[in-house]
Structure 1
């Protein structure tokens, strides 16, 4: 799986998403301009000590991203979409793109990707969910559909065994 952040602005969100990517074996793709420096303290604090284990690529622009990932299946996560995120089938190597916190993915990009645009349902006039929460929601649905491939499905107790219960 691949998470793409189009011009992210808030380092804590990107750090949280980076941590989620490490925990799931997901690649992170960042499209510039970024609203922070990649070595910023807030970014690394949110990603904790996981940031060094993150598979991350930074691109100069959206066109640079497309050129370096030809033929990629890209789902555009946006509040403007017609399709619900849980109603599509995610391929194991797909890309899920999220826009910048203040504006989302530009509408000209969305218009070219109508069929692959997805949304998380919300009630009322809520503008959007937090970016890192949205990324986790959609990513885990995509991982669930792919049977959490390569992920540990059972946890372990530290001081006891489950057989004691």
Structure 2
């Protein structure tokens, strides 16, 4: 399963359309940080139509919460009844691919693997510089050779990259 993560999305219909895309592709959707809308927003619900029950949405207040959730940390039951650091089983962090504008490396050169996460920034400001730096080796973008636009619509960008990753992984 792939993951799609949105950093501080601002526009409800974009997030609703992405949620529907995630339902259609069995992709987990992560919403990170401050949202520009409430999760019960009418426009958000309308864009997702009646597919919200089929969307695996995980809400993370901070980026650190998001990274912790991706590790799939599991706690074993301790014989003493208390859990210590020795009782924690951590799984490696799935690869996070930052999809941003601008990026020197096109997403078509990324080697996606099952379990990877496609991380997209907010509509107006993208990803924070600290996140771009942290994942600089996996920073990719969508080529826009025309040069007439600064960026694509967020839902469009997610659709392009997600479906291409799934096509390559599953031979569609």
Assess same fold via TM > 0.5.
yes
Q: Equivalent residues in 2 for 1:107-126 (5 A)?
A: 107-122=129-144, 123-126=146-149
Matched, 1:81 2:103: yes
Deviation string 1:70-124 (CA, Å, 9 cap, x unpaired) is 2121000001222100111111110000000010011221112111011000121
Tell me what 1:21 maps to. Answer: 22
TM-score, normalised with respect to structure 1: 0.87
TM-score after normalising by structure 2: 0.84
- Runs of 4+ in structure 1 deviating by more than 6 angstroms, as ranges, are none
Match for residue 132 of structure 1? 155
Q: Distance in 1 between matches of 2:19 and 2:153?
A: 15
* SS at structure 1 position matched to 2:50: helix
Q: Which moved more, 1:50-59 or 1:65-74?
A: 65-74
Give the SS at the match of 2:115: coil
Distance 1:147 1:64 in 2: 30
Measure how far apart 1:125 and its partner are. Answer: 4.3
Structure-1 residue corresponding to 2:46: 45
Is 1:55 the counterpart of 2:77? The answer is no
DSSP 3-state at the match of 1:9? coil
Match of 1:156 in 2: none
5+ residue gaps, structure 1, are 154-165
Task: Identify which of 91, 94, 105 aligns with 2:113.
Answer: 91
SS in 2 for 1:3: strand
Q: Within 2, Cα distance between the matches of 1:42 and 1:21?
A: 17
Q: Which moved more, 1:78-87 or 1:95-104?
A: 78-87
2:51 pairs with 1:36: no
Structure 2 residues without counterparts, runs of 5 or longer: 72-92
For 2:16, what is the secondary structure of its paired residue?
helix
